[in-house]
A and B are shown apart, each in its own frame.
Chain A
């Protein structure tokens, strides 16, 4: 288990991160969200040992992480951190050697990961010749080639097309089954909700929320009704409706609470010809937009 206790880091008077605490068990995925400058990168750098904390502790299985070797963590940075003029194999080999893997294992792991991410045909191609998605896959292999226990993904899905997103999502699910401890940071909050049981919401170095996603949802009674009906009309005069939004064929209605939403749904089913109709709790991004958390 990874345990972070009251971790703080300051840059002079500027707050990098203050009093961050969380635990992460095997097969757990934690999402770290927040705007730019909220402290996500500082948190990752503290975990990776790139920065020294001013206070607080980080332990893995009860032992200070500084006592582990550099193979504990796997890190996928947000930016493309590759030598663009190297071949895929050279890049992977270089980083695997830095992680002190034996040569034979390096060879096996490169074969394994290239095949798993379906880029074995690019093994001897220059990285700069690859698409953004395939470059991201190479970088992903760099993070995983040494089979780390704890994996940090900083914006893993940025710039990927839908087919690559599906590959990465499948991979993350597989890593979870392999009992890895996973941390994900993303601006695409829908993915965070999809993957993570726990989230940490940061704002200018302060921890605004740290806990389970379902618990976070309890911060607001509001919910959405999403529907596709034959004839669009205005529901804003109905009881419990806060706001109505339309986008293409879809209508989204923000409701005060779930009981009012159910009441309205029954009425719609009775009065309208309905193609689709569902009730949803507020997404994290909606809660942040509405100021329910911060």
Chain B
């Protein structure tokens, strides 16, 4: 088994394609870590405020539009108006004309809509007495307090993070599910498998394929991790990440101004507890991918040509897509606490998506984690035992089941 694994890993990682891919990864991560420099070089005016020209009859002071001056700069039409600038004009009480060279972007639309809304409020409130203004302000600006009765408090602000996690796991599933399946198809169609099986048992071959798949994920993740750490280190030496963090803040990707990476880690609350949760989440992910790989390998063992393999794999990808949308749909506090999301966090394969989400948004008890892990591990052993029978049938093109196998399945 050792030689099979070594041989396969060498073929996977010691080839031109993967070397080029990792160099590409190095360049891309480098560009991301210096995204502030790259983007501002390509688009120096990215953070310049939007300049909006208004008719001087409408404009008395900037309080009328209640604008954030880092976002919008108001000029009256007396100033030098350029073709690429935006001009707004009040046609009637309900209609405003916005003239621009190109259609407004969604961000520009939102900003200008807000300006006009503020302007209308200003006019409205200006015609009222002080008491009425206070009344209206109280009516328009109210506080909503949500008393949660459920025991497990859920951090709904992490909903976006969950979306990112589900999407990341989905793409990992897509990328790695067929890694080994394709290798089995190649070995089978090139008939080399028959020769290998005269030296090692089908069981050894099957298990080695699983380990190869698992190690491939680990090694590729490690390479990617090392690349990220390398660029983090470079960026830390350069400016401790200050300009990058400011850039991200200006883009509203991070909500607070941070001075360096150390502050970023403090802000993200990355402590031992969080790292522990990530490790458990990673464990579920690895077990889920292992299970998926096993299923794909067993299915692929029945494939007898490369052309057939895509026909088999395409429906599997569609099923994964359904699972992805299902996970997104179930990503709400109720479903994750006591609905379908909670149930799915114990179901093997689904637990790879749902348990990491639950772990990151709510407190999950240790016994729940143990049960889910046990289910995932038992499923792997179950598939390994029964899958091996089908695998042997598939790889030797021996599709009709013998009585012995039928009997075993019946048991």
Q: Which residues of A contact B (CB under 8 A)?
A: 10-12, 14, 45, 48-52, 54, 70, 73, 75, 77, 79-84, 94-95, 97-99, 142
B343 CB-CB contact with A under 8 Å: no
B183 to chain A, nearest CB (A): 11
Q: Are B400 and A14 in contact (CB under 8 A)?
A: yes
Instruction: For residue B189, give the distance in angstroms from its CB to the closest CB of chain A.
Output: 10
Number of A-B contacts (CB under 8 A): 62
B163 at the interface (CB under 8 A from A): no
Q: Tell me, in angstroms, the Cα distance from A70 to B196 when the chains sit together.
A: 11
CB distance from B66 to the nearest CB of A (A): 67
The 8 A-B residue pairs whose C-beta atoms are closest, nearest first, are A12-B400, A98-B199, A11-B400, A81-B191, A79-B191, A97-B3, A81-B195, A81-B192
In the complex where A11-B402, A45-B396 touch, is A142 in contact with B195 (Cβ < 8 A)?
Answer: yes
The A interface is mostly helix, strand or loop, or mixed, namely loop
Whole-angstrom distance between the Cβ of A130 and the nearest chain B Cβ: 15
Determine if B197 is an interface residue (Cβ-Cβ < 8 Å): yes
B401 touches A12 (CB 8 A): yes
The residues of A that contact B401 with a CB separation of less than 8 Å are 12
Are the CB atoms of A77 and B7 closer together than 8 Å? no
Smallest CB–CB gap between B294 and chain A, Å? 21
> Is B252 on the interface with A (CB-CB < 8 A)?
no
Give Cα A80–Cα B198 distance, bound, in whole angstroms.
Answer: 15
Beyond A50-B197, A99-B199, whether A94 also contacts B398 by CB under 8 A is no
Is B164 part of the contact surface with A, judged by Cβ < 8 Å?
A: no
Q: Does B404 belong to the interface (CB within 8 Å)?
A: yes
Q: Are B190 and A81 in contact (CB under 8 A)?
A: yes
The reply to whether A98 and B190 form a contact with Cβ atoms under 8 Å apart is no
In the complex, which residue of chain B has the Cβ closest to the Cβ of A91? B192
| Pair A84/B190 contact, Cβ less than 8 Å | yes
CB B199 to nearest CB in A, in angstroms, measures 4
Q: Which single residue of chain A is at the shortest CB-CB distance from B197? A: A50
Is B340 an interface residue, CB under 8 A from the partner?
Answer: no
Q: List 10 A-B contacts (CB under 8 A).
A: A48-B197, A49-B198, A50-B396, A81-B190, A81-B195, A84-B190, A95-B195, A97-B3, A97-B7, A98-B199
- Name the A residues within 8 Å of B199 (CB-CB): 70, 95, 98-99
Q: Are A94 and B191 in contact (CB under 8 A)?
A: no
Please judge, given known A-B contacts A51-B396, A79-B191, A81-B192, whether A12 and B402 are in contact too, CB under 8 Å.
yes
How far is the CB of A46 from the nearest CB of chain B, in Å?
A: 11
Among B193, B200, B396, point to the contact of A70 (Cβ < 8 A): B200
B10 nearest in chain A by CB position? A90
In the bound complex, CA of A82 to CA of B191 (Å): 8
With contact pairs A50-B197, A70-B199, A82-B190 given, residues A98 and B3 touching in the complex (Cβ less than 8 Å)? yes
Is A48 a contact partner of B198 (Cβ separation < 8 A)?
yes
Give the residues in chain B near A84, CB-CB below 8 Å. Answer: 190
Contacts of A83 in B (CB 8 A): 190, 192
Q: Flag if B4 contacts A98 (CB, 8 Å).
A: yes
B194 touches A77 (CB 8 A): yes
In the complex, what residue of chain B is closest to A49 when comparing beta carbons?
Answer: B198
Additional pairs, 9, CB under 8 Å, beyond known A11-B398, A54-B402? A11-B399, A45-B396, A50-B396, A51-B396, A51-B398, A52-B402, A70-B200, A80-B190, A83-B190
Measured CA separation A99–B398 after assembly (Å): 25
Q: Could you tell me if B195 and A77 are in contact, using CB atoms closer than 8 angstroms? A: yes
B69 to chain A, nearest CB (A): 63
Report B-chain residues with C-beta under 8 Å of the C-beta of A51: 396, 398
